[in-house]
Amino acid sequence: MSININEDNLKHGLLGLVIAIVEIIGDALKHQALRRMEGGSLNDEEIERLGRALEEIDIAIDQLKGEQGITETVKNVRDGLDDLVDDVLDQMTNPVRRPKRNSGSGKILQVGPSNRANPERWVREESKKKRGG
């Protein structure tokens, strides 16, 4: 059995992932630059240079995305990563919503938002549904 991989799709997806990561790093740099500006550790000339450099990076990335036709791919990667980070942060900040194990099946059941007040009850109800009761 052979695997049929479309080389163009592979390159397209990989480039989209790399550009998404570069954009995320750029966002982190912008955030750090803003913190340094607000903290007063940059003089006016440094602020101007930093602003120009960050703008040039944005222009170069946008140009590359347009030339390679990966604007939508990068957006999808970023959206997926944003969703993943949101889910992780939500589970860290809302421990009641963390997955609970159903003692009968060993499967992990995700507690839904409407059941935050009583997750054990939700697990029992879901378990009954699965057993047909």
**Six token digits for residue 20:** 């998404």
**Phi and psi dihedrals of 28, rounded to 5?**
-65, -40
Of residues 133 and 50, more confidence is placed in 50
Short-list 111, 92, 91, CA closest to 101: 111
Instruction: Dump pLDDT digits (tens) for 90-129.
Output: 888 887 655 544 444 444 444 444 444 445 555 556 656 6
pLDDT of residue 32: 93
46: pLDDT confidence band, cut at 50, 70 and 90?
very high
